[in-house]
């Protein structure tokens, strides 16, 4: 019997997850496993899950479904705290997990970053909440967040900041220029934004470590600016691969090697031009 898995979200056409997970299955010798992609909105999520037969093993879940997914299974505590799950393992009940946090931590650790005190986070959605948890695990206690809506940012981030015991200051997106007054150890961009080159240079100058979670446009202007500034550049391919490895473990019980998957994904991004 084929073991079915997939990535769901909307939009989903850009996702490298099918290439990545299929390569992991091949590496592990899992011949009867398949991995697809489906465009699913929050409104369509209940119907999609109801259509999944006993062949289905698990789902990778991306925007805008990470919060909505919590209504469809038993969530681990971290996913509950973050109000964001990116992994579903089918069962009775379904099990929900957040692998973004460990994905960020391992991505940073793979570049030698295992400790920090202050950080800047761009964005305030589900991935930003995961970033707060990953940063707290590194010892970060003070985080400046730039968001398009200060109130929505507080609504999204204050509950997890209180659980984590970190101090979060939110500034309006139009106040990015003021971030120069708050130099930090790490900058994490969680927004699907292509920064203008001049803005990217400004942001890259703020910290010695720049982590841009966008991968479909790598190298982004922010990554290029970080490299030009001599900052450590951690990119979205790192996060994509390391969070997916945890998903593969949850779904198959086996762990693939990271390096071949990182190389494959970088080649796939480059081929898209």
Alpha helices (H) in the chain, listed in sequence order: 17-28, 45-51, 77-82, 100-110, 126-137, 150-164, 197-204, 221-228, 236-252, 258-272
Radius of gyration for the chain, computed over Cα atoms and rounded to the nearest angstrom: 18
pLDDT score at 229: 94
pTM: 0.93
3-state secondary structure (DSSP) of residue 119: strand
Mapped onto helix, strand or coil, the DSSP state of residue 81 is: helix
- Per-residue pLDDT averaged across 142-160, rounded? 95
How far apart (Å, rounded) are the C-alpha atoms in residues 86 and 91? 16
pLDDT one-digit tens code per residue, 84-97: 999 999 999 999 99
Q: Which residues of 70-109 are buried (b: 16+ CB within 10 A; e: fewer)?
A: bebbebeebbebbbbbbbbbbeeebbbbbbbbbbbbbbbe
66 is catalytic: yes
The CATH architecture to which 3-99+238-272 belongs is 3-Layer(aba) Sandwich (3.40)
Q: Which two tokens stand for residue 117?
A: 């005190």
pLDDT, position 200: 94
Percentages of the chain per state (helix, strand, coil), in multiples of 5: 45, 20, 35
Q: Which of 230, 194, 243, 244 is nearest to 214 (CA)?
A: 194
Greatest Cα pair distance in the chain = 58
Calculate the average pLDDT of the chain.
Answer: 95
Task: Evaluate whether 3-99+238-272 and 102-235 have a shared fold.
Answer: yes
Q: Is 250 helix (H, G, I), strand (E, B) or coil?
A: helix
> What is the mean pLDDT of the segment spanning 232-246?
96
Given the residues 17, 45, 62, 66, select the one marked as catalytic.
Answer: 66
Per CATH, the homologous superfamily of domain 102-235 is: NAD(P)-binding Rossmann-like Domain (3.40.50.720)
Q: pLDDT confidence of 180, banded at 50, 70, 90?
A: confident
**What tens digit of pLDDT does each residue of 196-224 get?**
999 999 999 999 999 999 887 778 999 99
pLDDT tens digits, residue range 35-59? 999 999 999 999 999 999 999 999 9
Tell me the domain boundaries of the chain. Answer: 3-99+238-272, 102-235
pLDDT for the residue 216:
76
User: Can you tell me the distance from the alpha carbon of 134 to that of 138, in angstroms, rounded to the nearest whole number?
Assistant: 7
Cβ proximity of 50 and 77 under 8 Å: no
CA distance 53 to 173: 44
Contact predicate 191/217, CB 8 Å: no
Mean of pLDDT values over 131-145: 96
């Amino acid at each position: 019997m084929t073991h079915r898995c997939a990535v769901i979200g909307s939009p989903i056409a850009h996702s490298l997850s099918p290439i990545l997970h299929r390569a992991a299955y091949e590496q592990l010798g899992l011949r009867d496993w398949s991995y697809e992609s489906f465009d699913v909105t929050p409104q369509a999520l209940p119907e999609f899950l109801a259509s999944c037969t006993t062949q289905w093993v698990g789902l990778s879940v991306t925007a805008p479904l990470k919060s909505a997914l919590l209504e469809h299974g038993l969530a681990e505590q971290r996913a509950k705290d973050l109000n964001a799950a990116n992994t579903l393992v089918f069962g009775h009940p379904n099990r929900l997990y957040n692998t973004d946090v460990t994905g960020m931590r391992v991505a940073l650790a793979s570049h030698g970053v295992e400790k920090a005190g202050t950080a800047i986070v761009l964005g305030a959605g589900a991935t930003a909440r995961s970033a707060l948890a990953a940063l707290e695990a590194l010892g970060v206690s003070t985080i400046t967040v730039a968001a398009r809506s200060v109130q929505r940012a507080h609504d999204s981030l204050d509950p997890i900041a209180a659980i984590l015991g970190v101090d979060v200051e939110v500034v309006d997106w139009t106040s990015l220029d003021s971030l120069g007054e708050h130099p930090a150890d790490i900058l994490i961009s969680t927004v699907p934004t292509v920064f203008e080159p001049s803005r990217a240079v400004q942001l890259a100058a703020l910290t010695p470590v720049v982590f841009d979670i966008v991968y479909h446009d790598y190298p982004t202007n922010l990554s290029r600016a970080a490299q030009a500034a001599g900052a450590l550049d951690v990119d979205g391919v790192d996060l994509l691969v390391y969070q997916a490895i945890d998903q593969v473990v949850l779904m198959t019980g086996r762990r693939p090697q990271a390096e071949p998957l990182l190389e494959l994904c970088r080649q796939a991004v480059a081929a898209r031009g």
